[in-house]
Amino acid sequence: MAPAYVTGKTELDLMNTTSAFNTAGARPLQFPIPANVYAETVVSVKHYTDRLFSFRITRPQSLRFRSGEFVMIGLPNAEKPVYRAYSVASPAWDEELEFFSIKVPEGPLTSELQKIQVGDTVIMRQKSTGTLVVDALTPAKRLFMISTGTGIAPFASLLRDPDTYEKFDQLILTHTCRDNAELVYGQELVSALESDPLIGELTTGRVTLYNSTTREESARMGRITALIGSGKFYSDLGIEKLNPETDRIMICGSMHMLKDVKELAESLGFHEGSLSHPSTFVVERAFVG
């Protein structure tokens, strides 16, 4: 199973698995593709900061996944490749797969993954899974998607999926990062929604992006927990307070944030749901940050 949420720290903790890695980049394949994994081609790469990048790969025809789920991906650069859990950032209907990744200079996977170029091969285990799926929540009026850093990825998938709009009237995405440049992925995502030929019309007037920085001066500063706790979140948006009668919550990002927002949700009367027991909030604990 996937490691717990993989932050830079966890990747460094796992470095004893790195010895087989080559540093030559992923061009000519030096190792055979392992059995029972998909080998896909990189279609595009976009670097946002020296810590964050996104990339798109071809989609295996037989892959089925729910928007919001994660897959295990790796590089064919060792006999026993290292795999990490990555939330798919593209929706279930998309012909390609998009991912949003951190770069850890000495991380066993991301130190190499950050060097990928168009045409390179990325490998992927065949099963997708995850808790951030709309079917793990009961229907409601508003869906709050709380994210930090690359934890926005599953919401990038869900915000581009018509099913999300069928189940909820209003979608409020929060994204908190250390600095302004790290917010760009989410800003681009939300500003592209209305002009999307497939789902644009559905999204009009229904999606709110609420972002903040914690380490660089910006128009809005502070952790989401503090912004909700002080009431600034509600007054900034002019919305009613979180209420399990009308709202659902999905949480993804920094491990400490997961814990704090889960506690906050529970203190407000929300209950954790799953596919077998849908309820009022869900948390993703396994994905690359």
Distance CA 144, CA 209 (A): 10
**Comparing C-alpha atoms, which of 168, 162, 132 is closest to residue 147?**
132
Q: How far is the CB of 135 from ligand A2P (least distance, A)?
A: 27
Q: Which is nearer to ligand A2P, 167 or 178 (CB)?
A: 178
Which of 54, 148 has the CB closer to ligand A2P?
148
Give the separation between CA 8 and CA 149, rounded to whole angstroms: 12
**In the bound complex, what is the minimum distance in angstroms from residue 281's beta carbon to ligand A2P?**
16
The DSSP 8-state label assigned to residue 25 in this structure reads -
Residues in 145-164 at the binding interface with ligand A2P, rule: CB under 6 A: 148-149
Residues between 207 and 236 that touch ligand A2P (CB under 6 A) = 214-215, 223-225
Nearest approach, Cβ of residue 223 and ligand A2P (Å): 4
Of these, 167, 178, 220, 232, which contacts ligand A2P (CB under 6 A)? Answer: 178
- CA dihedral sign of residues 151, 154, 157, 162: negative
Shortest spacing between CB 171 and ligand A2P, in angstroms: 20
CA separation, residue 156 to residues 150, 173, 185, 203, 264 (Å): 10, 10, 9, 13, 24
In DSSP terms, which residues pair with 125 in a beta bridge?
37
CB of 65 to ligand A2P, least distance (A): 24
Q: Which residues contact 114 (CB under 8 A, 6 or more apart)?
A: 53, 101, 103
Count of residues near ligand A2P by CB under 6 A: 15
Tell me 16's DSSP state: G
Name the residue type at position 248. R
Binding to ligand A2P by CB under 6 A, coded x per residue (else -) over 240-279, reads: --------------x-xx--x-------------------
Judged by the rule CB under 6 A, the positions of this chain that interact with ligand A2P are 148-149, 176-178, 214-215, 223-225, 254, 256-257, 260, 289
